[in-house]
C-alpha cells in the first residue's frame, strides 16, 4: 500500500493500514470527495484515467476478498476486506498518501517468505505500487487455508 505521488517509506502505508484495520490505495485528491463517483471523477481529472479505474476497481472488490500486503522486507500480512470504500482525511492518510480505504481484518500473525505463497512473493518482488490481482491458483488456495487457520488465532483489532 503505497501512494504514487508521495514518497513515504516503502512499508509505512501498509503498517499504518494494518494497525488501523484498513486496506487502501492512494492518491490524495485536491478536495475530499463526498462519495465514490466524485472520487473517481476527481482522480481521473487530477491524475488520468488509470487512477480513476483503480479506485473504482478497489471499491468494487467483494467485501470478503482476501488480500496481502507487505509490512517489512521479509514480512507479509494476510487480511480480508470487511466494508465499503471511503475517503480518509486523517493525519495518517496524509502522512502515507493512502486515502482510498476500506475496513479490513488482518491476521495477527505475520508471514515470512517461507510461509507466504510463492505467487504472492512474486507479485511483491515486481515492486509495483498498484493494487494487483494475484493470478495464481496455488496462492489463492493457500491464502484461503491460511486465513481459515489463522482466523482462529485472532485478528488485529
Question: Could you give the CA distance from residue 11 to residue 96 in angstroms, rounded to a whole number?
Answer: 9
Specify the pTM: 0.88
pLDDT in tens, 11-37: 888 999 999 999 999 889 999 999 999
Cα–Cα distance measured from residue 5 to residue 61, given in angstroms and rounded to the nearest whole number: 23
The string of pLDDT tens digits covering residues 35-48 is 999 999 999 999 99
- Residue 55 is inside which H or E element, if any? helix 49-60
Whether the predicted pLDDT of 93 surpasses 90: yes
| Helix spans in 61-153 (H) | 91-96, 118-125, 137-151
With CA atoms as reference, report the closest residue to 24 among 106, 74, 85, 80.
85
Q: What pLDDT does 10 receive?
A: 77
**Which SS3 state, helix, strand or coil, does residue 106 take?**
strand
Helix orientation angle between 137-151 and 118-125, rounded to the nearest 10 degrees = 110
Q: What are the tens digits of pLDDT across the range 104-153? A: 999 998 999 999 999 999 888 886 556 777 778 899 999 999 999 886 55
pLDDT digits (tens, 9 = 90+) for 58-70: 999 998 899 999 9
Q: Dihedral (C-alpha) 57, 111, 71, 10: value to the nearest 10 degrees?
A: -90
Q: Return d(Cα 69, Cα 77) in angstroms, integer.
A: 5
d(CA 139, CA 117): 5
* 145: three-class secondary structure by DSSP: helix
Amino acid at each position: 500500500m503505497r501512494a504514487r505521488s508521495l514518497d513515504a517509506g516503502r512499508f509505512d502505508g501498509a503498517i499504518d493500514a494494518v494497525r488501523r484495520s484498513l486496506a487502501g490505495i492512494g492518491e490524495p485528491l485536491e478536495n475530499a470527495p463526498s462519495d465514490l463517483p466524485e472520487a473517481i471523477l476527481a482522480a481521473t481529472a487530477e491524475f488520468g484515467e488509470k487512477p480513476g479505474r483503480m479506485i473504482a476497481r478497489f471499491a468494487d472488490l467483494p467485501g470478503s476478498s482476501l488480500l496481502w500486503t507487505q509490512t517489512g522486507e521479509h514480512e507479509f500480512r494476510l487480511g480480508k476486506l470487511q466494508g465499503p470504500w471511503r475517503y480518509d482525511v486523517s493525519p495518517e492518510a496524509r502522512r502515507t498518501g493512502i486515502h482510498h480505504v476500506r475496513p479490513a481484518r488482518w491476521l495477527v500473525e505475520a508471514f515470512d517468505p517461507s510461509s507466504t505463497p510463492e505467487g504472492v512473493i512474486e507479485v511483491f518482488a515486481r515492486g509495483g505500487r498498484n493494487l494487483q490481482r494475484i493470478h495464481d491458483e496455488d496462492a489463492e488456495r493457500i491464502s484461503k487455508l491460511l486465513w481459515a487457520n489463522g482466523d482462529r488465532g485472532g485478528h488485529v483489532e
